[in-house]
Amino acid sequence: MLEIKNLHARIGDAEILKGVTLTIPNGEIHAIMGPNGAGKSTLSYVLSGREGYEVTEGEALFNGENILEMEPEDRAAAGLFLAFQYPVELPGVGNANFLRTSLNAIRRKRGEDELDAVAFLKLARAAVKQLAMKEDFLKRNVNVGFSGGEKKRNEMLQMAILKPHLAILDETDSGLDIDALKIVAEGVNTLRDETFSALVITHYQRLLDYIVPDMVHVLAGGKIVRSGPASLALELEASGYAGLEAA
Amino acid sequence: MNALPTRKLEAWRYTDLRPLSALSFGAPPVAVAVPDLPELPFPRFVFLNGTLNPTLSTGFAYAKPFAAPPTFGSQPMAAINAEHVGGGINIEIPVGQDAGEALLVSQADGVTPFAYHPRHRVTLGQGAKFTLIEIDEGAGTYWQNAVFEIEVAEGAVFQHFRLQRESMEAFNTIFIHADIAAGASYEHFTLTLGAKLSRTEIEANLLGQNALAHLNAAQLLGGTQHGDFTTIIRHKAPNCPSRQTVKSVLAGRARGVFQGKIEVDQIAQKTDGYQMSQALLLSPDAEMDIKPELQIFADDVKCSHGATIGALDEEQVFYLRSRGIPEADARQILIRAFLEEALEPVTHDASKALFEEVLESWWGRQ
């Protein structure tokens, strides 16, 4: 699904990623943990194509194609989804309209028929219900006046509707209470199958109680310094990152 | 001809009429081409090169013969209009009558530069209702210098929606004077897309309690276009609300101007005035000048005004793109969202649909 090879990236003069190598096979969920400033968010932005990051070396193959060469919208059409750490507010843009425009843009690029308003609403209402969200969610402006938890749920709603092949969750758990955390986890777990992989970026072990990863990687100083099974997360929770940063 | 105002006048500081005074304009030629008319199922007045065309126009029960105009003191463009005025509509809606809507189309074909100076009058009796949709359009070089005189009697509602999509070589100046009586409303919206240089100037007098003025506008300009929206709202009675939302989207080297003056007389207690002007600059060479002015002589009033000028938020663009929406579409969605607040008060469905449609085609041009 995703093969990151020796990825180096910088913002301005500061090198943030210093040779990240990571493979996520089909159907697996991997977690990336690490201290603040390790490059976790940079990795998610570089993979999703945000401007301002310069890739100086390496590649990221998504189903065999180097996505680093692609526009952000083409990465989305290829099946990549970034759940933002800080979802952006869009005043004047209705949530339902946004979701439908997004879904249809992706369907168009994939050569599939666009959904009309009725078919879309049916799909969206079902997704809203499954995520235990209020129906007026669809009528509100995108993320405007949403609480932190509502914004994260809205990311999960988008993910449920766009059905990506690879989801990157960038600290989606930050600022969430346990109930919201469970909903985010369920959003990921319901998509879990052979055609869906996820990269869960988190600072804390807590989310991984609900989304049990196949692998845990530790990112420190711009490199993966350790990889292991789900139990590694518990170990880090107990010992902290201090010993790893020097590695 | 009375002289054109110069930038030495405070009210004309940001709009330089020298491109207009550099040209010499002849008398309007007789129109030959049969124009395309908007497909709106309303009674219509069609002016071609400034003359009412009886074949293309339909009857309207409340139309009166053109009347000799009064003058408007010191407003310089109105004075020029009064010197040259050739025609215009004169509508009187009787007391209590809901007159529905009518369409006013002004088309010009400026093969050689010409000027025309229409004078329109709309009067609503007590409790009457009327919606006027105005479309200014044409080809070539010409100057339309219009004056509107509006009277809205007690409890009447006049909705005035304008689409200015003149030729890119044209000049469009309009002066609107509205007297609004107690409990009456004047709801104005202008969408400015066309003309090399345009200025919409509105003077609205709130003359009785609970009189309401909405003076909203959106302008989308590119190239070297210049668009000016200037308003004066005079609160001359207590308890009157006024609302202004003005949104400018400026590309290329376009320049936008908004001057909004609110005057609150000593007796106009409990005035509720709101004014917001926002500009989106799509290029580093675009320019916006905003001048809000509050003159308040009453002591118990609520008047707020605000102004912002900025570029599209790249975080928002990236968010949309990360959801599969192509960059050009993402920018279009955000610009449309920016305009939403100004369009929101256009509650008349057919007018709203017209504005939506022309906005769609504006994106195509950019």
Q: Say if B340 is an interface residue toward chain A (CB within 8 Å).
A: yes
Q: What is the DSSP string of chain A?
A: -EEEEEEEEEETTEEEEEEEEEEE-TT-EEEEE--TTSSHHHHHHHHHT-TT-EEEEEEEEETTEEGGGS-HHHHHHHTEEEE-SSPPPEEEEEHHHHHHHHHHHHHHHTTPPPPPHHHHHHHHHHHHHHTT--GGGGTSEETTT--HHHHHHHHHHHHHHH--SEEEEESTTTT--HHHHHHHHHHHHHH-STT-EEEEE-SSSGGGGTS--SEEEEEETTEEEEEE-THHHHHHHHH-SHHHHT-
Q: Say if B312 is an interface residue toward chain A (CB within 8 Å).
A: no
Q: Which of B276, B308, B316, B320 to mutate to test the interface with A (most CBs of A within 10 A)?
A: B320
**How far apart are the C-alpha atoms of B47 and B51, rounded to whole Å?**
5
Cβ of A82 within 8 Å of Cβ of B322? The answer is: yes
Name the amino acid, one letter, at A40: K
Which of B322, B333, B338 is closest, CB to CB, to A76?
B322
pLDDT digits (tens, 9 = 90+) for A205-218: 888 999 999 999 99
Cβ of A87 within 8 Å of Cβ of B319? The answer is: yes
H helices present in B11-54, as ranges:
18-21
β-strand pairing of B272-281 with B241-250 = parallel
What pLDDT does B226 receive?
98
Q: Are A127 and A158 in contact (CB under 8 A)?
A: no
**How far apart are the C-alpha atoms of A159 and B366, rounded to whole Å?**
32
Residues found in chain B? 366
Q: What is the DSSP string of A56-82?
A: EEEEEEETTEEGGGS-HHHHHHHTEEE
Nearest-Cα distance to chain B for A131, in Å, is: 19
**How far apart are the C-alpha atoms of B95 and A131, rounded to whole Å?**
56
Minimal-distance CA residue of chain A relative to B340: A92
Looking at the DSSP bridge assignments, the partners of residue B148 are B120, B176
Looking at the DSSP bridge assignments, the partners of residue B273 are B242, B303
Cβ of A90 within 8 Å of Cβ of B337? The answer is: yes
Size of interface A-B (CB pairs under 8 A): 73
Cβ of B326 within 8 Å of Cβ of A158? The answer is: no
Q: At what angle do helices B327-343 and B349-365 cross, to 10 degrees?
A: 150
Report the Cα B141 to chain-centroid distance in Å: 20
Which residues in chain B have their CB less than 8 angstroms from residue A98's CB?
320, 323, 333
Q: Which of B280, B314, B321 to mutate to test the interface with A (most CBs of A within 10 A)?
A: B321
Q: Which residues of chain A have pLDDT under 70?
A: 243-247
What pLDDT does A124 receive?
94
Phi, psi of B77 (to 5 degrees): -70, -35
Cβ of A73 within 8 Å of Cβ of B324? The answer is: yes
Cβ of B324 within 8 Å of Cβ of A76? The answer is: yes
Candidates B346, B182, B108, A203; CA nearest to A216 is A203
Residues in CB range of B335: below 8 A, 6 or more apart: B249, B280, B282, B312, B363
Annotate B292-303 with b (16+ C-beta within 10 A) or e (fewer): beeebebeebeb
Query: CATH number of the domain that A218 lies in?
Result: 3.40.50.300
Phi, psi of B324 (to 5 degrees): 90, 0
Cβ of A105 within 8 Å of Cβ of B325? The answer is: yes
Which residues in chain B have their CB less than 8 angstroms from residue A157's CB?
none
Which residues in chain A have their CB less than 8 angstroms from residue B323's CB?
76, 98, 102, 105-106, 158, 162
Candidates A97, A209, A159, A33; CA nearest to B334 is A97
Q: Say if B126 is an interface residue toward chain A (CB within 8 Å).
A: no
Q: How far apart are the first and last CA of chain B?
A: 38
Phi, psi of B157 (to 5 degrees): -130, 120
Q: Render each residue's pLDDT in chain B as its tens digit; 366 residues.
A: 778 999 999 999 999 999 999 999 988 988 776 678 888 999 999 999 999 999 999 989 999 988 766 666 678 999 999 988 878 999 999 999 999 999 999 999 988 899 999 999 999 999 999 999 999 999 999 999 999 999 999 999 999 999 999 999 999 999 999 999 999 999 999 999 999 999 999 999 999 999 999 999 999 999 999 999 999 999 999 999 999 999 999 999 999 999 999 999 999 999 999 999 999 999 999 999 999 999 999 999 999 999 999 999 999 999 999 999 999 999 999 999 999 999 999 999 999 999 999 998 887 666
Structure tokens at A146: 């949403």
Cβ of B327 within 8 Å of Cβ of A73? The answer is: yes
Cβ of A93 within 8 Å of Cβ of B337? The answer is: yes
Which residues in chain B have their CB less than 8 angstroms from residue A105's CB?
323-326, 329
Largest separation between any pair of C-alpha atoms in chain A? 56
Cβ of B314 within 8 Å of Cβ of A105? The answer is: no
**How far apart are the C-alpha atoms of A99 and A161, rounded to whole Å?**
8
Q: Which of A81, A90, A99, A140 to mutate to test the interface with B (most CBs of B within 10 A)?
A: A90
Q: H/E element holding B216? A: strand B212-221
**How far apart are the C-alpha atoms of B28 and B50, rounded to whole Å?**
7
Cβ of A93 within 8 Å of Cβ of B323? The answer is: no
Instruction: Give me the half-sphere count of Cα atoms (radius 13 Å) on the Cβ side of residue A119.
Output: 6
Report the Cα A210 to chain-centroid distance in Å: 16
Domain containing A60: what range? Answer: 2-245
Q: Are A237 and A202 in contact (CB under 8 A)?
A: no
Which of A81, A101, A106 is closest, CB to CB, to B333?
A101
ipTM of the complex: 0.95
Q: Say if B320 is an interface residue toward chain A (CB within 8 Å).
A: yes
Which residues in chain A have their CB less than 8 angstroms from residue B337's CB?
90-93
Q: Say if B337 is an interface residue toward chain A (CB within 8 Å).
A: yes
In chain B, where the domains are located? 10-314
Q: How many domains does chain A have?
A: 1
Q: H/E element holding B352? A: helix B349-365
Cβ of A93 within 8 Å of Cβ of B321? The answer is: no
Cβ of B321 within 8 Å of Cβ of A73? The answer is: yes
pLDDT digits (tens, 9 = 90+) for A87-107: 999 999 999 999 999 999 999
Please report, for residues A127, A161, B30, B71, B196, the alpha-carbon distance to residue B83 in angstroms, rounded to integers and kept in the order given.
Answer: 66, 64, 21, 10, 24
Looking at the DSSP bridge assignments, the partners of residue B246 are B217, B277
Name the amino acid, one letter, at B228: D
What pLDDT does B70 receive?
67
Q: Say if B333 is an interface residue toward chain A (CB within 8 Å).
A: yes
Nearest-Cα distance to chain B for A24, in Å, is: 21
Q: Say if B297 is an interface residue toward chain A (CB within 8 Å).
A: no
Which residues in chain B have their CB less than 8 angstroms from residue A77's CB?
324
